[in-house]
Every structure is written in C-alpha cells, then in structure tokens.
Structure 1
Amino acid sequence: MNATPTIATPTGAPGRPVRLGLRENRLQFSLLVIVSAAVGGLVGLERTTVPLIGTDTFGLTSDLAVFSFIVAFGLTKAVTNLAAGALTARFRRRQLLLAGWLIGAPVPFVLAWAPSWGWIVAANVLLGLNQGLTWSMTVNMKIDLVGPARRGLATGLNEAAGYTAVGVTALATGYLATGYGLRPVPELIGVVFVVAGLALTLVVRDTAAHVALELDRHAEPLPAGEDTGLARIFARTSWRDRSLRGVSQAGLVNNLNDGLTWGVFPLLFTDHGLGLAAVGLIKGLYPLLWGLGQIPTGHLADRIGRKPLIVTGMAVQAAGFVLALALLDRPLLAGILSAVALGLGTAMVYPALIASLADHTHPSWRTKALGAYRFWRDVGYAVGALVAGVLANALGINATVIAAALLTAASGALAARWITERAEP
C-alpha cells in the first residue's frame, strides 16, 4: 500500500485521492474544530444563568425542580448519542450534523423569552437533540480523518474546541448578566453559534471515503458472521467487554460531575456571597481548562497510553470537590481552586476515554460503540442532576459535593481495574 488509493465518490465518479492523517486533512479538520466550538458555545449559554433563572425569575424553591432542565438535557442527549451511532448506517455524518443544527436553532430564543419554566425544560430537550447529533458527528468525523495513529490528539482538539467555547460563553454570560440582567441579552449570543455552525456544515465535506479507506487498511478483518447490530454493540460496550465497560462507567461518572456542578455550583457560591460575575468566572474556568488542557493531554494519551491519564484524572477531579468544601469560608478561592482541579482532571480523562474506546473497537462498528459510550457518558448529566436534587433537598448542597467526590474516586478505582491498553494492530 505505498500508493494512496483513489476512492470513488458516492455517485460513482472518481474523487480526489483520500489520505488519513491530520496534516493531510488539515483544512477539513480545522473547519470541524470551529464547528465544535460553535457546538460547545451553544450549551455554554446555560452554565451560569439558567439555574439562577429558575430560582430568581420563576421562583422555584425545590433544587430538584431547578435541576430538571439538566435531567431533560442529559436524557435527551444520551438517547440521541445512541441513536446517532445507528443512524450513521443510513445517513452520512454531514447530513446528521446539519439536522442537529436545524433542531438547535430555536434554543437561544426560547431561553431568552420563555414565559414559564416548562419552556426552559423543553428548550433543553431540543438542546439535547442538537448536542447529541452535532457533537457525535464532529468527533466521529475527526476520528475518520486522522486514522489510528492520531486519535488521542484528534479527540483532544475536538473536545478542546468545544469545552473552551463552553467556558468562554459561561464567562461571557456571567458578565452580561451582571450588566443587563439574566435575560434576554446573555442568551442571544447563542444566535452567533447557530449561524456559524449551520454555515460551516454546508461547507465541510463528508468523511465516508476516509472510513472506507481505514476499513480497507485495517489489519484485523471483521470475523465472518459477527453480529454488529446496535443491541449487540450496546451490550458489548456497556458490560460484556471489560475495557469498554471501564470506559463507559468512567464517562458516566465524569459527566455526573459536570451535571452536578452545573446545577449546584451557582447556588452553592451565591449562597456564600459571590455575585454573578464571580460565579461566571468559576463556571467558565472549569470548562476552559477542561477544553484547552485536552490539546496536550490528547497528545500525551498517544505517547504514554490511555489508562494512566484516565485513572489520575479521576483522582484529580475527586480532589477538586474536596477543595470546594474545605475552603468554603473563602468562597472565591474555593471556587477557583476547585474549578482548576476539576478542569485539569477532566482534561486528562476526556480524550483518553474516547481514544481508548477507539482502540478496542473495529472501524465497521466503532460509531455504534461510540454512540453507546456517549449514551452512558451523557446519562451522567441526568444522574448527576437527580443525585444533586435529591441530596440537596434531603441533606443540603454540601452533601451532594461529598457524594460526587466519593463516586469519582470509586470510578477511578474501577477504571484502574478494568481498562487495558491495546496497541493498534
């Protein structure tokens, strides 16, 4: 295979030579990085203001009711992630990416002018559909483009773009809310993300030819008669395969942490005297470090392996929750140090988990496995919000933070026990 094969286009006409690699596909990869930033920016609209809209604008007094928007988002995104893996067998990735943007277009407007809390929850159903389709497709398309050797870096760049945008938007909405109120100005910056995402999706090319090329080169052919149906792959990813089971549970707990901090931290730190700008700083710093940190950690995952980053990252996240409570008499310091630990820990874990999953899956059913993993990972949002709501109502907000620290430490121990390294054949 010294010569680079030419892959036919879907219409049967000969296309340009297709190569796997980051440098070889730098233009398309760069466009997809910008799309990922728009995806993250849209969900970043909610990080600072929406829990406070629930309490201050709509007068919600139950923590579980306040966190219901995160439950709606997490469950919808999780199911959409799972469906997205199966839908790639019938639709091209670019088509699904475009559908995700069209579904998400109303979200900024509903958040800005919703007449009741029910509208906010409904907007998060649309946001979950949007995120499940757009984020799944951008990460799949980047993995398609770069091939096996650079998966860690590719997923790191993807998640870095998305979560850096989450952080910048959380910071921006906090400062805008300080000057203009909780609504509608902070939410309307989401229109920029929707327009940018739609426009770039119309420009970027599909990656079906790159998938075909990797399948052609893959050293391990799919065994004859192997069942690659969605149910079989879901079971394999969720519990049958030891390493994939370890990846899935770690992903769930990782986003449980994010869902919990999404709902709890604005309430925790405003209760201890911080204003919207300070809360926006805390809520923005966490995903900023999470995002930017994934560029070096994704590269590191390709050099030293996936497991060391996953296990260490979970331990650092657990320490972040401990810091939030240990220093709460100085709430700004507590919030900043907690955000730094949570952000850096998550940056270590996130690209390594996706790269580990890719290492243990065949190209022919990888999108289904990734959909199953992302299902469990984003169920974590809903579980985190439910745990936070129930514990906060029963025992107080501090109890939810303690629970998150314990669950994260336990998840890291399971990852150490179950996940194995596997060199790409």
Structure 2
Amino acid sequence: MVPRPLAHAPAPARSANVLLFAVAGAVTVANIYFPQPLLAAVARGLDVSERTAGLVASTAQLGYALGILLLVPLADAARLRRLASVLLALTSAALLVAATAPDLVTLTLATLALSTTTVLPQVLTPVAAVLAGPERRGRVVGLVGLGLTLGSTLSRTVSGTVADASGSWRGAYGVAAVATAALLLVLPRRLPERLGARRQSSYAGLLAGLPRLLAVHRELRISAALGACAFAAFSVFWAVLAFHLAAPPLGYGPGATGLFGVLTLPAALLSAAAGPLADRFGPSAVNAGGLVCAGLGLVVAGLGPHSPAALVAAANLLVVGVSSSQIASQARVFGIGREVAARVNTVFMLATFGGGALGSLLGTWLYAAHGWTAALLAAGACSAVGLVVVTAARPTVPSCVRHVTGEAGGIRPRTPQGES
C-alpha cells in the first residue's frame, strides 16, 4: 500500500525564520524568569514579606507547566498564526495587569495568567524542527534552544537593570509587555498555517492521547527518561548552590548566585553545537556525551567545593552537558512525525519539568540533612541513570521508516518521500 502524502506540508525553514524563532523564544521565555531578581523590590513595594513575594516565582513555574499541558498540544491541530497571535496578545495584556497590580493577589493571578499563555517557545521549537527536515533538525533545534537559554539567563540581568533605572519593579513588567506585543507585528506571518494535516482529534482527544503517545513511541519514552534524569541532576546542583555559596567559608551573598548565570553563558553558547552533532552522529551519542560532561562537572564541584573557580567550571560543564543532552532528546522525538510534533514535545517537557521538580526537592533535603557532597552524589546518580538508559537503548525500527499517529491513535508508516 502506497503511503499517502501529508496535506498542508509547511514550507522548508529559512535561516531568517529560524533566527526569528530563536529571538521570539528568548523574549517569551524571559517572561517566566525575569521576575526572580525583583522579588525583594516587590515585597517592599507591596508591603509583604519576601517569603510571601516568593509566591510570584512559584506561580510562574506552575503556570508554565499548566500551559505546556493544556495549550501546547493545540499546535498539532490549530491554525498556528491565530494561536500565536492569541497567545502573544493574552501574555502582553497579563504583563500590563501585573505592571499595574495594586496588591500581591492581583500580581500573583496576573503571573499565573501570563506564564500559562507564554508557552510559545514550546510551540516554536517543534515548528522549527518540522520545517527543518531530518537533515537539519538537530541544528535548528539547537539554535532555537540557544535562544531559550539566553532568554532565561539574561532576562534576570535585564530586569534588574530596568528596575534600577526606572526606580520600580513595575518598569520591568512594562518593558516585557512591549517586547512581547512587538512580536505580534512579525512572528505570526512567518509561521506556517498549520503544523500537520487539517484532520485532527478534538481538544479533549488531543489531551487524552498524550499517554498513548508515550506508550506507542519508544523514542519518546527514551527521551522523556533522559530529559527527566538530566534536568534532575541540573536542578539538584542549582537548587543548593545558593545555600552552599552563602555558607562558610565562602559566605557569598545572593548576587553571587545570579553572577553564576552570566558566567555560564560560554557553556550556553557552546551547547548550540549539540544540534549539528546530533544530525551527524545521532541523538544517543550526544546524550551520552552530555551526561558524561555533566558528571564531570559534578566531580569538579565535589573536588573543589570551596574554590570559586572550580564551582564556575563545574557550572559550565553542567550547563553544556545538560543543555546538549536536552537538545539531542528533542531532536529524537521530533523525528516521530509532524502531525504529533507539539504533543510529543508536551510529553517530553512535562517529564523534564517533573524530573527537575523532584531534583530540586531531593537536593534541598539532602543538603539540609547531609551537606554539599550528599547533594552532588544524588545529582551524579541521576546522570548515571541517564547513561544506563542511553546504553540500553537500541534502535528497533529502520531509520528510513517514520511513524505518525493519526486521529484514532493508530500507527501509519511513512517513507521519507511521503511528504512530497
């Protein structure tokens, strides 16, 4: 039986579009992280405790996870230009509400709204991967991922600078609203009309089919497990770093932890090379190399626990290792098929965030009970489990065969020429 070509195939990605996707991803993902340095100013401005103001940061993470689960799957069925326009408009409006919030309750609710709708980065990544095609998939995912890394890292510095210059934390929210709204003028028109075929399940069907995707696609199970392990190791380290730096004999203040984000920019830039390497050698090789690199970083942190230079080197090794592994894992899942690209990314990101949340909890508990070395050993164990997953993974389907899950959840074979 001759496979049917997919309808509404998107046009190939152009370099200008990939750059725009990376910039748009950086601007939008920054909305999740830029409030973090502002929490002390928020507490003073709204006359609440710093611990209470911390609810804003927690709410941002919760909203982002909800958006990934509830909104990203829509990209497999909705009109992408309309979806992007609605998400950008809602996020901009919520940022303006946050900028004028009279109390913490309003600010927290606005944060929940804007973080739920600012999931455009997790829509743009599968779109860019599909447009790139199998030969350039890893390279494009790496470039868009670099934009997300830079956006999440530099947003903290930019928001602090804007707040200092304007004399109020509200100025940072205003700048974010303008930057997000500006994307409305350029981004939607550069997107394809649809990611896959027009015929898709209902919204309820899209969500209900997520567990089946995990059951059917071995590539997704592998990447989900690797994403959880890598981000768990990453989160253990960063969750306890601030406590370790503040403790004797280092005794550094909060600014030192923020400086580590800037000092790891070289690693973030280097991780973009993981995409081309995944295209050339396969995702598994890059996964293994990334996890080994992260493990080396943890060893360095253990050998030089009170050396700032060693800790900076360890942080860079961890960032480049985990980021490279994540890029390779996404390149693997986007090879499953364009009709499910957004949903497999949803499953992958939920697994990754779940691993990160568990890593943060485990790390802080172990550090409080047993100290720095115990936390590093836990992070190393997470990396080791990931290496076991990579080693045990073996291709079960020839590379020339793709799988696409249709509306009924069945598997339909497709040759590489099936798109033409």
Same topology, TM > 0.5? yes
1:21 partnered with 2:7: no
What does residue 387 of structure 1 align with? 362
In the alignment, the residues of structure 1 paired with residue 311 and residue 96 of structure 2 have an alpha-carbon distance, to the nearest angstrom, of 27
Equivalent residue of 1:297, what SS? Answer: helix
1:84 corresponds in structure 2 to: 71
Alignment counterpart, residue 58 of structure 1, candidates 20, 28, 49: 49
Say whether residues 1:157 and 2:143 are aligned partners: yes
Q: Does 1:406 align with 2:397?
A: no
Q: Select between 244-253 and 267-276 the one with higher mean Cα deviation.
A: 267-276
Asked whether the equivalents of residues 41 and 165 of structure 1 are also in contact (C-alpha less than 8 Å), the reply is: yes
Residue in structure 2 matched with residue 304 of structure 1 by the alignment: 281
Aligned partners of 1:311 and 1:261: how far apart in 2? Answer: 19
Cα distance in 2 between the residues matched to 1:391 and 1:371: 30
Distance 1:254 1:384, change over 3 A: same
The more displaced of 389-398 and 306-315 is: 389-398
Query: SS in structure 1 opposite 2:71?
Result: helix
Corresponding residue number in structure 2 for 1:354: 330
**Contact in 2 for aligned 1:84/1:371 (Cα 8 Å):** no
**In 2: Cα distance, 1:52 partner to 1:283 partner:** 20
Which residue of the partner structure matches residue 42 of structure 1?
31
The answer as to 2:256 corresponding to 1:266 is: no
CA distance in structure 2 between the aligned counterparts of 1:197 and 1:346, rounded to whole angstroms: 28
Decide which of 373, 393, 399 is 2:348's aligned counterpart: 373
Highest RCO, 1 vs 2 (Cα 8 Å, sep ≥ 6): 1
Q: 1:283 aligns with which of 251, 261, 264?
A: 261
Contact 2:229–2:383 (CA under 8 A) maintained in structure 1? yes
Does the CA-based 8 Å contact 1:253-1:407 persist in structure 2?
yes
Distance 2:304 2:79 in 1: 50
Contact 1:88 1:367 in 2 (8 A): yes
Within 2, Cα distance between the matches of 1:111 and 1:322? 43
Distance 1:26-1:246 versus aligned 2 partners, 3 A rule: same
Letter aligned with residue 45 of structure 1: F
Counterpart residue identity of residue 356, structure 2:
Y
Residue 201 (structure 1) shift? 3.0
- 1:353, distance to aligned residue in structure 2 (A): 0.8
Deviations 1:30-72 (A, max 9, x none): 3222111212333342566659999xx8354xxxx99876664
**From 213, 216, 220, the counterpart of 1:244:** 220
Shift in Å, 1:352: 0.9
| Pairwise CA distance, 1:341 | 0.5
* Matched residue type, 1:201: L
> Where does structure 2 lack aligned partners over 5 or more consecutive residues?
401-415
Residues 237 and 253 (structure 1), Cα distance of their counterparts in 2 relative to 1, 3 Å cut: farther
Question: Residue 296 of structure 2 aligns with which residue?
Answer: 319
Rounded Cα–Cα distance in structure 2 between residues aligned with 1:97 and 1:388: 37
Q: 1:165 to 1:211 in 2, by over 3 A?
A: closer
Check 1:59–1:203 CA distance in 2 against 1; reply closer, same or farther (3 A cut): closer
Which shows bigger deviation, 398-407 or 257-266? Answer: 257-266
Q: Distance in 1 between matches of 2:388 and 2:102?
A: 43
The answer (yes or no) to whether the contact 1:318–1:408 under 8 Å persists in 2 is yes
TM-score when normalising by structure 1: 0.75
- For the 8 Å contact 2:99–2:173, the answer to whether it is kept is no
Match of 1:168 in 2: 154
Matched letter for residue 144 of structure 1: V
Which one of the candidate residues 97, 102, 110 is aligned to 2:84?
97
| Farther off after superposition, 149-158 or 386-395 | 386-395
- Secondary structure of 1:364's counterpart equals helix
Task: Give 5+ residue unaligned stretches, structure 1.
Answer: 9-17, 217-221
CA RMSD, 1 decimal:
4.1
TM-score, normalised to structure 2, is 0.75
- What's 1:142 paired with? 128
- Any residues of structure 2 matched to 1:332-343 within 5 Å, and which? 332-343=308-319
8 Å CA contact 1:152, 1:352 repeated in 2: yes
Q: Structure 1 residue 310: deviation in Å?
A: 0.8
How many residues are aligned here?
A: 386
Please tell me whether the aligned partners of residues 139 and 155 of structure 1 are also in contact (alpha carbons under 8 angstroms): yes
Write the distance in 1 (CA, Å) between the matches of 2:74 and 2:281. Answer: 34
In structure 2, distance between residues paired with 1:160 and 1:318? 21
> CA distance change for structure 1 residues 242 and 292 in 2, over 3 Å: closer, same or farther?
same
| Displacement of 1:306 | 0.7
Amino acid at match of 1:301: A
Q: Distance in 1 between matches of 2:176 and 2:161?
A: 18
For 1:251 and 1:67, the matched residues in 2 are separated by 27
Contact 1:282/1:335 (<8 A) preserved: no
Residues of 2 paired with 1:50 and 1:335: CA distance?
Answer: 26
Counterpart selection for 1:194 from 168, 177, 192: 177
Matches of 2:378 and 2:301, distance apart in 1? 13
State whether structure 2 residue 32 is matched by structure 1 residue 32: no
State the percentage of identical aligned residues.
20
CA offset digits 1:151-180 (Å, max 9, x no partner): 111111111011122222344567789x78
